[in-house]
Amino acid sequence: MNASYGRPAPASNGMPTSNGMTEALRAEAAIEPDAPSLAPAEKQTQIIAIYGKGGIGKSFTLANLSYTMAQQGKRVLLIGCDPKSDTTSLLFGGRSCPTIIETSAKKKLAGEKVQIGDVCFKRDGVFAMELGGPEVGRGCGGRGIIHGFELLEKLGFHQWGFDYVLLDFLGDVVCGGFGLPIARDMCQKVIVVGSNDLQSLYVANNVCSAVDYFRKLGGNVGVAGLVINKDDGTGEAQAFAAAAGIPVLAAIPSDEDIRRKSANYEIIGQPGSRWAPLFEALAQEAAEAPPVRPTPLTHEGLLGLFKGDAVGRGVVLQPATAEDMGMETAALKPSLEVIYEAQP
């Protein structure tokens, strides 16, 4: 078959002639391309996960941080990912907002779809929502987190136009649900909230270990730094940050004014207030601090940050015996271990 690919059809068929095609191609080639844009690149949404031991002050820190960012003209979304669903209570003056999981269940029973206005609320420029969790004793908090994010994706989470999305997570990253942002690169960086006590720094070290572990597997999430809450000046949290190779983003003092106002669900970082400069500086650090790969401490290294009388390092572990356990006789049973003879 003598097919001539690319040759124009005869003019009698209504198609352009060879000369017409040539002229059309020349005209198209003469069109100048659009000039390259000189405008700054659109800023990508920064998703920051904040971790810490329960009760350490994550919600207090996040409410004031998100509020300050919004007052600086940023579009901020605060998402509570703690099953207690209390992340947004300080922001809303003590009021609790309906959770995504609870609302989804009710809407499903009614045969309705969840709308943005059912689960997202705002105050002074801050948008906020709570994922929620299962009822007490009736489910896994981590699974609740995963289910909650699936619902967020259905609501268009990845199309929302925010400058910052702040996620409030429990520091129990041994749970796959709470470790989700780190394990699946759902955020760019992590901020850890801790204090000068062993338990909060133990959790902070676990978070650093999780980040380091997933970095080894090819992950990209890093630690932006540590926020020291209720800082009494003893220095253990500062020492931990230095040993782990992460910066201290802010040190919120242990102060009666802060304690009293936060207990009354007051935002202490409002512009012009006594504590506004502290949170304005934290907002800048949170935005600009690069995600670094931390160096987790060993358990002994963590204990070494504290004085011996504070953590009981002088205690000696004494092995228990079968007699100690109340057994009348401690008869040895035959071992089931298979012992192979040495090969010649």
Residues noted as catalytic: 53, 58, 84, 172
Distance CA 86, CA 132 (A): 9
Q: Is 73 left (phi over 0), alpha (psi -120 to 50) or beta?
A: left
DSSP secondary structure code for residue 13 in this structure:
G
Q: Are 119 and 129 in contact (CB under 8 A)?
A: yes
SS3 216: helix
Q: Are 291 and 211 in contact (CB under 8 A)?
A: no
Distance CA 221, CA 179 (A): 11
Virtual torsion, Cα 251, 254, 256, 259, nearest 10 deg: 70
Element (DSSP H or E) covering residue 144? helix 141-154
Element (DSSP H or E) covering residue 228? strand 222-231
Element (DSSP H or E) covering residue 126? strand 126-130
Helix, strand, coil percentages in the chain from 3-state DSSP, rounded to 5 = 35, 15, 50
Distance CA 177, CA 14 (A): 65
Give the position of tokens 């059809």: 9
Residue 242, token pair as written in the block: 């230095």
Distance CA 80, CA 101 (A): 12
Q: Is 303 left (phi over 0), alpha (psi -120 to 50) or beta?
A: alpha
Distance CA 11, CA 18 (A): 9
Residue 88, token pair as written in the block: 């947004």
Q: Are 234 and 200 in contact (CB under 8 A)?
A: no
